[in-house]
Amino acid sequence: MKQTNGIVFYNVNIHCETEVINGYIRTNNKTIMEIGQGDPHLGEGEYAIDGNGHHIIPGFIDTHIHGAAGADVMDGEEAALRTIAESLPAEGTTSFLATTITQSKEAIDQALNTVANYPIKNQGAELLGIHLEGPFINIEKAGAQPSEYVIPPSIEQFKHWQNVSNGRIRVITLAPEMDKQEDFISFLVKSGVIVSAGHTNASMAEIKHSVKKGVSQLTHLCNAMTAIHHRDVGAVGAGLLLEELVCELIVDGLHVSPDMVNLIYQQVGPDRLILITDSVEAKGMPPGTYSLGGQIVTTDGEKALLSNGTLAGSVLKMIDAAKNMQQMTTATIDDVAKMAAINPAKQLGLFDHKGSISEGKDADFLLVDEHFNLIYTICRGSIAYKREEY
C-alpha cells in the first residue's frame, strides 16, 4: 500500500501509559502525532483504518532472539538479519536485539561485524543492538551453549567485541561467579552495558554480591541456573526476591511450566518481568532439522532440541507468549504490554521514544483483539503486517 501523509486508526481502544482512550491514533509515517477521543478529522492524503473496537498496544520488543524464518544471527550475513527483521512483525515484534551464542571468537567477530554494518531500513522490526549471550558463562550450566567455546571473563576480549560491533552490544549474559578478578562486571556496567546473570551456577549469596556490582537482570529465569532449594534459593530464588533484578521469561509452557509461570507472576508481578522468545531459526519453519550457532537442532513445530534432547532455544512467537501469559496468569492486556514492551524499553534506556503509546514516540504499535489475536503491526509508522481478512 502506498502511504502518503500517514495512517489514522479510529474506533479503537488505545492503551496509553496511564489510561485507555476510546478514539483514534494518528501517525506521520514515523511517529505518533496525535491521540484523541471520538472520531478524527482526516487530513489530505491520510489513510484511515477502522479498528472495529479492538485494542492498540505498544509493539513488542524481543531482547533475546537468536533467529527465525530459517535465519540465525550467527550466520553472520546481512541477509539473515534482514530475514529475521522482516519476519518478526507477523508476531507483533517491532524491534529486537540480535542475540549471539557461545561460539568461536572468529564466529562471534563475524556476527557482531554484520550487525555493526546492518543498514537501518524502514522494513520489518528495528534492530536495536546486540545481546551477547556467552561465552563468559559457567560450563556446568551451558545448556544449549557449546561448552567447548566457554571462556573466562576478559575485559580485553569484551573491548575487542564492542569495537567490532561499533558499540552495539547492549546486553551481555554471563555467569557472575566466573568474575574471579572482581573487575569484569564493574567494567561492563561502567561501559553502559546491561549485565544479565545467566547460564550460572551462582548461589543466592553470589547473586546478591553481583547485584551490588551492577548485575540488573536474569537471563531466561529458571532455565540454565541454580534452582530453588530449601537451604539455598539460588538464582531462581534471587529473581523472585530481589527487587533490583528484572527477569526474562520464556512463556512457551515448555521452558517453564504453566504453574511455575503463574507462581512467578504472582511473586514477581508485571513490573519486573520481560517476555522473550529465545527463538532459533526453526521458528516459523516446517518440522525438520535446522541450526543454532553451528549446532544441529531438530523441531517438531512446538519445540527445538539438540541431539541429546536439550531444549535449544524455542520456536515461540511473541504474540503467543502474550496469549500464554494471559491464559496462565491473571495478567491483563496492560500487564502483558508492560512485560513485552514497556519493561524492555525501560531496561534498554529507550523509553523516551519506544515502549508505550504516547504522542511523539515512534509509531510502533499493534492492533489486537482482547485475546491477543494480531490484526495489524505498525513499525515506525508503516504497515509491516496485516491479517489477511482485513
Other CB atoms within a 10 A radius of the CB of residue 65 amount to 26
Residue type, 160: H
* Closest alpha carbon to 234 in 257, 207, 256: 207
Rounded-to-integer distance, Cα 345 and Cα 3, Å:
28
User: What SS3 state is found at 25?
Assistant: strand
Q: Output the pLDDT for position 1.
A: 43
Q: Output the pLDDT for position 122.
A: 63
Helix-helix angle 204-213:234-241, to 10 degrees: 50
Strand partners, 132: 172
Torsion of CA 330, 331, 332, 335, to 10 degrees: 160
Q: What is the model's pTM?
A: 0.97
The question of whether 50 is a catalytic residue gets the answer: no
Rounded-to-integer distance, Cα 221 and Cα 91, Å:
22
Rounded-to-integer distance, Cα 155 and Cα 185, Å:
9
Q: Cα(first)–Cα(last) distance of the chain, in Å?
A: 13
Other CB atoms within a 10 A radius of the CB of residue 311 amount to 19
Rounded-to-integer distance, Cα 386 and Cα 161, Å:
38
Query: Residue 385 phi/psi, 5° resolution?
Result: -155, 140
User: What SS3 state is found at 42?
Assistant: coil
Q: Which of 278, 320, 335, 362 is catalytic?
A: 278
Q: Output the pLDDT for position 29.
A: 82
Contact 68, 284 (CB under 8 A): yes
How far CA 379 is from CA of 15, 25, 155, 177, 348, in Å, comes to: 17, 14, 36, 40, 18
Q: Output the pLDDT for position 257.
A: 98
Rounded-to-integer distance, Cα 222 and Cα 103, Å:
23
Q: Output the pLDDT for position 42.
A: 84
pLDDT in tens, the chain (390 residues): 444 579 999 999 999 999 999 999 999 989 999 999 998 988 888 899 999 999 999 999 999 999 999 999 999 999 999 999 999 999 999 999 999 999 999 999 999 999 999 987 768 999 999 999 999 999 999 999 999 999 999 999 999 999 999 999 999 999 999 999 999 999 999 999 999 999 999 999 999 999 999 999 999 999 999 999 999 999 999 999 999 999 999 999 999 999 999 999 999 999 999 999 999 999 999 999 999 988 999 999 999 999 999 999 999 999 999 999 999 999 999 999 999 999 999 999 999 999 999 999 999 999 999 999 999 999 999 999 999 877
